[in-house]
Amino acid sequence: MRPEEEQSQCGVPVNLDASPGCEFCRQSGGEVLWRDEKCRVVLVADPDYHGFCRVIWNAHVKEMTDLARDEQQHCMRVVLSVEQVLRRVLKPHKINLASFGNMTPHLHWHVIPRFEYDAHFPQTIWGDRQRSAPPAAPAETGLQLRELLATMLARNYP
């Protein structure tokens, strides 16, 4: 799929000054809940982890310390807004935050609501599976997350 096609399908402007073959330069990475010119928040389609979001920097940047100071702050404000919204909507036992990029070295943050009954708790979701995944969550949760995220980011970080 060419970037132009991806752009027209999901409405996310693709970074054309991108790294060839980079998944997050070519694709949105999930259902886009919110975006601005710097980054986007996507809902990850993971059947084990309902509400799992990623904050993906739009430009192909490897590490947080490759960003300017104000960009670092902007990125973390968005990450923590997602944390706040997930806590409010889903009331998880714990939030997990992580930026790895070992396989896809394009700056992105995992923001994962964790529950004591989820597939890996108390391990990380990259650890050994502990049990079956919990039942699927209500279909309207994506909509709730999208609406609250838009409200919160507009209010807190105009």
Among 94, 117, 151, 154, binds a copy of itself (CB under 8 A): 94
Residue 157 binding a copy of itself, by CB under 8 A = no
Residue 119 binding a copy of itself, by CB under 8 A = no
CB 49 within 8 A of CB 118: yes
Residue 151 binding a copy of itself, by CB under 8 A = no
Residue 112 CB, nearest approach to a copy of itself (Å): 9
In terms of CB distance, is 11 or 127 closer to a copy of itself? Answer: 127
Residue 2 CB, nearest approach to a copy of itself (Å): 27
Residue 62 binding a copy of itself, by CB under 8 A = yes
Distances 63 to 9, 75, 99, 105 between C-alpha atoms, Å: 29, 12, 9, 8
Compute, in degrees rounded to 10, the torsion defined by CA atoms 28, 139, 111, 87. Answer: 140
Residue 83 binding a copy of itself, by CB under 8 A = yes
| Phi, psi values for residue 80, rounded to 5° | -75, -25
Distances 72 to 24, 86, 146 between C-alpha atoms, Å: 18, 21, 23
Pick the stretch among 14-22, 53-61, 65-73, 133-141 that binds a copy of itself (CB under 8 A).
65-73
Residue 48 binding a copy of itself, by CB under 8 A = no
DSSP 70: H
